[in-house]
């Protein structure tokens, strides 16, 4: 099967070019304005931009075990609609992904249910060091240094030292200091004001845990990725950490702050918590400065009924995977960044950090994971149009300029938007991602 995407502005590793892209099977076969070959399918993309598909390295898709909130079929459709062609999913499902068997089981499920490409982290416990040492078919190890949704937690120094010392896979962590969070929670016990969440999970909690994790990584010479940075204070730590350290920020930590509790209540209750307007600004600047290099969503759906429980019972987490690219394209239309930067943050850097080969860039021979976007299209995010199973968005009612309108996964078109309607092709599933793990390669 050959598809020609003609006359797009294509975001190549060296910059934008008006050209055409030939897909043959699952790969990019040519990038040439004058392709002369018989094809099965021609897409006239004049006026559109063609980007490498987004790689979201932090999502919670809830399968198995929590499928009343989300499942792989809904979540991967949401990905396709949002221009996300690959995801890396977190281990706090039921059962937790803390054994090779549980990880293999998830891979098997995804093989028959996920429209887009998939990978799954192996979760750390205080007892599964042998599993972590020998884990296969995974991008890396996830540690909850502070607890969040679910019961995964590794807080003891000895256990952390052992994981950083004895394993070779890259490590990423949820960094909020458990002791600080527990002490704060006691201080605010009895309060039903959701805004208190940002005082329980405060700046100090994030700083202490990120400092502790980076110290472990540097001492043990271990590649380490700081998930969902939420404070300005952590930026210095990341910058000082050197080449072993990478970091990401989520749209909600860039776009929401404590003022938004008034309007959105528990819909913006997240771990790490949302912080201040100043943190929003400094985190954005850290992206522009290249200290933080990845944008990921931490897509963490809960049902609206669960979210409406009074604080503190309402769970932490919000869905974002189908709107993250559009939220960033809108920043381009506001003149706040360039399309090349968005491609770096959402495609090429996640591919580099996790050693995902042949993805994250548009180059001959790479996988044809592609997203066509209309930078002039204005659309409003509406709960009733969400593909995520929980069917709500904290950005409900927000108009954005710039939207994905078509998505290819391994050369197969899985999504297109026609006159405002989403169309999906479920005839082929995504592929298991392969990793050249930095840890294994370098040590
Ligand atoms: O707010 C959050 N929700 N943060 C996390 O780290 C986990 C997530 C979830 O799984 O619900």
Please indicate, yes or no, if residue 414 is contained in any of the structural domains: no
Res 424: pLDDT? 98
Which atom of ligand 1 lies nearest, measured to the CA of 270?
1
Its domain, for residue 106, covers: 53-354
10-54 pLDDT, tens digit per residue, is 999 999 999 999 999 999 999 998 888 999 999 999 999 999 999
Mutation test of ligand 1: which of 63, 225, 270, 388 has the most ligand atoms closer than 8 Å to its C-beta?
270
Split into its structural domains, the chain has a count of 1
Closest C-alpha to 313, from 144, 167, 194, 436: 194
Res 419: pLDDT? 85
Contacts of 334 (CB under 8 A, 6+ apart): none
- Give me ligand 1 centre to Cα 316, in Å: 6
Rounded to whole angstroms, the Cα distance separating 92 from 170 reads 18
Kindly list the catalytic residues. Answer: 298
Please indicate, yes or no, if residue 292 is contained in any of the structural domains: yes
- Give me ligand 1 centre to Cα 115, in Å: 23
- Give me ligand 1 centre to Cα 300, in Å: 6
Closest C-alpha to 164, from 226, 216, 237: 216
Which atom of ligand 1 lies nearest, measured to the CA of 90?
10
Please indicate, yes or no, if residue 226 is contained in any of the structural domains: yes
- Tens of pLDDT along the chain (443 residues)? 999 999 999 999 999 999 999 999 999 999 998 888 999 999 999 999 999 999 999 999 999 999 999 999 999 999 999 999 999 999 999 999 999 999 999 999 999 999 999 999 999 999 999 999 999 999 999 999 998 999 999 999 999 999 999 999 999 999 999 999 999 999 999 999 999 999 999 999 999 999 999 999 999 999 999 999 999 999 999 999 999 999 999 999 999 999 999 999 999 999 999 999 999 999 999 999 999 999 999 999 999 999 999 999 999 999 999 999 999 999 999 999 999 999 999 999 999 999 999 999 999 999 999 999 999 999 999 999 999 999 999 999 999 999 999 999 999 999 999 888 999 999 999 999 999 965 543 44
Report yes or no: 275 and 203 within 8 Å, Cβ to Cβ.
yes
Mutation test of ligand 1: which of 67, 92, 314 has the most ligand atoms closer than 8 Å to its C-beta?
92
Please indicate, yes or no, if residue 367 is contained in any of the structural domains: no
Please indicate, yes or no, if residue 74 is contained in any of the structural domains: yes
CATH of the domain at 266: 3.20.20.140
Please indicate, yes or no, if residue 257 is contained in any of the structural domains: yes
Full strand arrangement of the beta sheet holding 294-295: 122-123, 141-144, 171-174, 224-226, 245-249, 294-295
Please indicate, yes or no, if residue 388 is contained in any of the structural domains: no
Please indicate, yes or no, if residue 342 is contained in any of the structural domains: yes
């Amino acid at each position: 099967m050959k598809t020609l995407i003609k006359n797009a502005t294509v975001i190549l590793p060296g910059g934008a070019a008006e050209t055409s892209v030939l897909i043959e099977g699952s790969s990019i076969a040519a990038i040439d304005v004058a392709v002369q070959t018989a094809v099965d399918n021609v897409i006239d993309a004049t006026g559109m931009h063609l980007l490498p598909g987004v790689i979201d390295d932090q999502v919670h898709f809830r399968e198995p075990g929590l499928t009343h909130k989300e499942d792989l079929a809904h979540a991967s459709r949401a990905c396709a609609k949002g221009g996300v062609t690959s995801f890396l999913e977190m281990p706090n499902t039921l059962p937790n992904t803390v054994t090779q068997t549980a990880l293999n089981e998830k891979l098997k499920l995804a093989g028959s249910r996920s429209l887009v490409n998939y990978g799954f982290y192996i979760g750390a416990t205080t007892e599964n060091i042998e599993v972590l040492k020998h884990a296969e078919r995974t991008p890396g190890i996830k540690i909850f240094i502070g607890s969040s949704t679910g019961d995964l937690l590794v807080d003891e120094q000895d256990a952390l030292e052992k994981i950083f010392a004895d394993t070779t896979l890259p490590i990423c962590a949820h960094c909020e200091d458990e002791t600080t969070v527990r002490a704060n929670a006691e201080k605010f016990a009895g309060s039903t004001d959701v805004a208190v969440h940002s005082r329980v999970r405060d700046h100090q909690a994030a700083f202490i845990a990120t400092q502790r994790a980076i110290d472990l990584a540097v001492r043990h010479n271990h590649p380490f990725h700081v998930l969902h940075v939420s404070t300005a204070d952590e930026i210095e730590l990341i910058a000082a950490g050197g080449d072993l350290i990478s970091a990401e920020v989520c749209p909600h930590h860039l776009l929401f702050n404590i003022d938004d509790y008034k309007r959105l209540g528990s819909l913006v209750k997240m771990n790490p918590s949302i912080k201040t307007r100043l943190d929003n600004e400094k985190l954005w600047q850290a992206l522009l400065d290249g200290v933080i290099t990845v944008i990921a969503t931490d897509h963490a759906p809960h049902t609206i009924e669960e979210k409406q429980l009074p604080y503190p019972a309402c769970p932490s987490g919000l869905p974002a995977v189908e709107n993250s690219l559009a939220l960033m394209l809108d920043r381009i239309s506001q003149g706040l960044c360039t399309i090349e930067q968005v491609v770096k943050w959402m495609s090429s850097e996640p591919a580099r950090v996790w050693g995902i080969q042949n993805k994250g860039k548009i180059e001959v021979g790479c996988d044809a994971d592609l997203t066509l976007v209309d930078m002039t299209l204005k659309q409003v995010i509406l709960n009733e149009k969400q593909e995520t199973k929980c069917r709500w968005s904290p950005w409900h009612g927000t108009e954005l300029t710039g939207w994905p309108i078509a998505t290819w996964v391994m050369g197969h078109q899985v999504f297109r938007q026609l006159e405002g309607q989403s169309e999906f092709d479920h005839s082929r599933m995504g592929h298991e991602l392969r990793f050249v793990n930095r840890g294994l390669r370098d040590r």
